Structure 1
């Protein structure tokens, strides 16, 4: 039985312009801005973590300069992985029919799972090049990634895309591209769970429970936490029209890609072991 939906009770979508401002042919979009701000804030947060030897129980194995240099690697890995992940996971046939649209990133269409794979490859290559413990780099990046995730989902909401399923919840709203029926603002659910909540959990784990003393722990919390959060939201999010439901009338591609993350996260958490980093050098009189 379908829920009774009362469109007249739906909240009004704010209908913000996806373009923040435009100077001639150059348009700055909320979507692009969310990536830029997320990367910059994540970089600053990561630098504060690697500077704090107390969090490591000794000398941090990563330097400020490492974080500065990795910013470019992270940007390339995130953007390329996110875009090509969306192409292959969500609309391969559509993009093959119009290959030029693959490069029109400003139109939206980024996959977290693809971006996750892209930045993971970038981290492995960078860590090997700099002789950095790869799990330590994973842990730092995992701690700051929810900043970008949260901002990205807010940008999805402003764009009026990736809206939720039809709902009679009092906070449901009718999106311009979602028809007249009110829907869950699932983008904001994701911003809250994958962004704010996961960021807070990782902050507490790192600053109060010394997660960086145990390589893989922060990474496991992030990977498993994201998988759980995304799986929950998928029950409220409308699946992509060209994919629909994979099994029955409830299982989605988002769930298929997220459930393995829960298992991987659990394995990482259980396998994390405490290590002793070198004590920071001190000057002697």
Structure 2
């Protein structure tokens, strides 16, 4: 199959190395990696934008709730993302150790990469549920507001994947296919950019438009449902272009779908159910207020 594809590949494909990209900013004593920076900027943006939304009529919580919420959500993203990756994508992290001057448990080596979107989503959901329960807030409306800013983190994270030259796509003969240095000699889909465009930019525009230019925030669950459905569909589609993780290539070949796609199916179904629920319920009246 690869030999047939190779015959149709252009003689001068695009080489990722020609962009001169580096994984981070060298600060002398350590490297500030763009992947870590993407998480940081994504969280800061989500906090800033949520604070701005809370100033609009109908907010489900006060600023003090948002302050606590984003502390716990940050923990949820990191812990959930890492544990989810170890559970679904690379079980060797549970028992593996690595040393670069000192021995460390691979599960703790976040700087080596390996975060799961589905695990991070679960971690953030638990964080929101805890804060909503503790402060007697409407959980679904809290999720509505938080979900609006999440695509920015997805956009930055996928761009960081591209800058790192990781999570490349399947072998392809499209004119924009790229040769990644750790992925062999065949050009591949730059699937990181596809994900940045669909899961990041497109979803960010949709969620922002729904909040700022419609009355979606007065229908509890609508914003959360659109986010869940849109993110799930985007991820499912993008997985057709993304190369499965090496340790899960056999699983994808046996089942016909990648691990990411199987995990995304219940996400899509849940999102659709929440959207239908939100549209069937009577919208809230404008001017309602949350606990101070």
Asked if structure 2 preserves the Cα contact closer than 8 Å seen for 1:85 and 1:111, the reply is yes
1: CA distance between counterparts of 2:12 and 2:236?
A: 28
Q: Distance in 1 between matches of 2:76 and 2:27?
A: 27
8 Å contact kept, 2:203–2:231: yes
Give the alignment partner of residue 261 of structure 1, picking from 246, 257, 267. 267
- Which residues of structure 2 form unaligned runs of 5+? 98-103
Alpha-carbon distance in structure 2 between the residues aligned to 1:126 and 1:101: 30
- Residue 56 (structure 2) aligns with: 52
Q: Per-residue deviation at 1:132? A: 1.2
Describe the SS at the equivalent of 2:247. coil
1:1-285 equivalences under 5 Å are: 2-3=4-5, 4-6=7-9, 8-13=11-16, 14-24=19-29, 26-53=30-57, 56=58, 60-98=59-97, 100-244=105-249, 245-248=251-254, 250-272=256-278, 273-277=281-285, 279=287
| Distance change >3 Å, CA 94–CA 279, structure 1 → 2 | closer
TM (normalized to structure 1)?
A: 0.91
On the 8 A contact 1:15/1:160 being kept in 2, the answer is no
1:22 to partner: Cα distance = 2.1
Tell me the TM-score normalised to structure 2 length.
0.89
Residue 262 of structure 2 aligns to a residue whose secondary structure is helix
1:185-219: CA deviation from partner (whole Å, max 9, x where unpaired): 00010000000001111112222221111111111
Give distance in 1, aligned partners of 2:208 and 2:200.
12
Q: Which runs of 5+ in 1 are unaligned?
A: none
Q: CA RMSD in A?
A: 1.8
Conserved 8 A contact 2:68-2:131? no
8 Å CA contact 1:7–1:181 kept in 2: the answer is no
Q: Is residue 244–residue 252 contact of structure 2 (8 Å, CA) maintained in 1?
A: no
Say how many residue pairs are matched: 275
Deviations 1:214-243 (A, max 9, x none): 111111001111110001001100000101
Q: CA deviation at 1:278?
A: 6.8
Q: Confirm or deny: 8 A CA contact 2:218 2:286 kept in the other structure.
A: no
Deviation at 1:6, TM superposition (A): 2.1
CA displacement, residues 29-81 of structure 1 (integer Å, 9 cap, x when unaligned): 0010000000001111111111111xx3xxx2211222122121111000000
Distance 1:105 1:279 in 2: 44
